[in-house]
Structure 1
Amino acid sequence: MLTAPDWALGSQYLRTNAPELIPFIDKYGACTLQPEAPQKYFGTLLTGIISQQLPPEVSLAMVKKLEAAVGTPITPQAIAAASDEDLCACGIMQQKVNYLKGFAEAVLSGKVTMDKFDSMTDSEITKQLTQIKGLGQWTAEMFLLLALCRTDIAPTADFIFQKRVKEIFNLSAMPKRKQILELTEHWRPWRSLAVWYLWQEK
């Protein structure tokens, strides 16, 4: 089981090196992010596939139906064994059923090595995940940040993060990936923590 990074150390680093974040740190206090148990990795990524372009309440209902159908935690073996009809009966469209099946097969074949994620780099994990249909850059970055608690993830495709960067740096337009990475370079190696603070702001 992974342990959480020393978020307090990260907060102190950001106070010293990123004064624009101090109001957020003061307002929201200690970061509460904790890494997920490895047996939940598959279900978390599978939920990421299901939830794309859907309201949260709709995707959550689908996941609950899926858990009722195949068991919890959801495993690649269970998805591989389920029929397309059973998965579609949970409200999941056929294209996403194909993605779920492909993801399960990739894990079972060793193409995606979730059992080794803890010892792999961010880029190695991202490369493995984004080769799977239905798992894009955004999903991979969310997984690295929220499930694995990697400390230096900047989810540049995330709308809320883009919006907060635009606000704190007084930009005239929503920033693109390259600009975000340049503007937040001084947040490294604690960009994940900075993102967490910015996400807390409603």
Structure 2
Amino acid sequence: MTIETTYFKYGEAEMDFLKQADAVLGAAITRMGKIERTIMPDLFTALIYAVVGQLISVKSAQLAWNRMHELLGGITPHAISVHTPESIQTCGLTMKKAICIHQIACRIVNHEVDLDRLTHLTDVEVISELTAFEGIGRWTAEMLLIHALERPDIVSWGDIAIRRGMMKLYGLSTISKKQFDQYRLRYTPHGSVASFYLWKISYE
């Protein structure tokens, strides 16, 4: 099933800033050109997709997502809330993910949570709100910040591919949190765009 998507909005200004801020990354940007990064404007869809995608490949996430569509008839809070976690698990998810997804949907249906208010919160506040859900960690919250809220300065330490891309870019065999943060600060305030290049580099 297809997901309603668009592209993260950025352009030459952000690319030029990163080229000036970091010559090594700048050379990669020049070589690769602009990278289009898909985002999901609907916060609920994006959050559920991020949970589905935790610690599995994109291909596996898409397969589970398609099965959920077939089972539920659509990814909506109501459609999920009327199924049991056990039923949702049959789509190829762990029970932990199925419970998390079910709880999110139920809390929205019961008006305990309003995802739309996240648009008015800071990055730190969004992470705090989302990680209050059992089964949602910082990485999932950061993916929502990039892929739904289009926040401009997210470089996720918890993302293995981001770390791998950074190590490949700078010729490192390992990377510490301190080194990671030094590079991340170079990219500020356009860390999200830097992340797009690091992701691509990690899979080259």
Give the TM-score of the pair, scaled to structure 1: 0.84
Shift of 1:7: 2.7
Cα distance in 1 between the residues matched to 2:7 and 2:36: 12
Aligned mates of 1:3, 1:168 — CA distance in 2: 24
Q: 1:193 to 1:48 in 2, by over 3 A?
A: same
Distance 1:97 1:153, change over 3 A: same
Secondary structure of residue in 1 paired with 2:101: helix
Distance 2:116 2:184 in 1: 31
Whole-angstrom CA distance in 2 between matches of 1:165 and 1:151: 18
Deviation at 1:53, TM superposition (A): 3.3
Q: Deviations over 1:179-201 (max 9, x none)?
A: 31223212100011111112222
> What is the percentage of aligned positions where both structures have the same residue?
25
Residue 137 of structure 1 deviates from its aligned partner by: 1.0
Name 2:106's counterpart in structure 1.
105
Q: Would the alpha carbon gap of residues 26 and 118 (structure 1) be closer, same or farther in structure 2, given more than 3 Å must change?
A: same
Question: What displacement does 1:35 show?
Answer: 4.1
Pair 1:24-2:25 in alignment: no
Tell me the distance in 1 between the aligned counterparts of 2:89 and 2:25. Answer: 45
**Structure 2 unaligned residues grouped into runs of 5+:** 1-5
Q: Is the 8 A contact 1:7 1:31 kept in 2?
A: no
* Aligned-pair Cα RMSD in Å: 2.5
Task: Pick closer, same or farther for the CA change 1:115–1:90 going to 2, 3 Å.
Answer: same
Contact 2:118 2:126 in 1 (8 A): yes
Question: Is the contact made by 1:112 and 1:129 (CA closer than 8 Å) also made in structure 2?
Answer: no
Contact 1:46 1:100 survives alignment (8 Å): yes
Q: C-alpha deviations, 1:166-189, integer Å up to 9, x for none?
A: 34444452222x431223212100
CA contact (8 A) 2:51 2:136 kept: yes
Question: Residues 56 and 168 of structure 1: is their aligned pair in 2 closer, same or farther, counting only changes over 3 Å?
Answer: closer
Q: Quick check: 2:7–2:37 contact (8 Å CA) kept in 1?
A: no
Structure 1 residues not aligned, in runs of 5+: none
Question: Is the CA contact (8 Å cut-off) linking 1:48 and 1:139 kept in structure 2?
Answer: yes
Residue aligning to 1:193 = 193
Asked if structure 2 preserves the Cα contact closer than 8 Å seen for 1:154 and 1:181, the reply is no
Q: Tell me which residue corresponds to 1:94.
A: 95
> Per-residue deviation at 1:156?
0.8
Distance 2:107 2:124 in 1: 18
Deviation, 1:111, is 4.8
Paired letter, 2:116: D
How many residue pairs end up in the alignment? Answer: 198
Aligned to 1:50: 52
- The AA in structure 2 aligned to 1:63 is W
Summarize the alignment of residues 154-173 of structure 1 with structure 2, pairs less than 5 Å apart. Answer: 154-173=155-174
For residues 39 and 88 of structure 2, the distance between their equivalents in structure 1, rounded to whole angstroms, comes to 28
| 2:153 is the alignment partner of 1:149 | no
Deviation at 1:102, TM superposition (A): 1.4
CA contact (8 A) 1:47 1:63 kept: yes
Q: TM-score, normalization: structure 2?
A: 0.83
The answer as to 2:135 corresponding to 1:138 is no
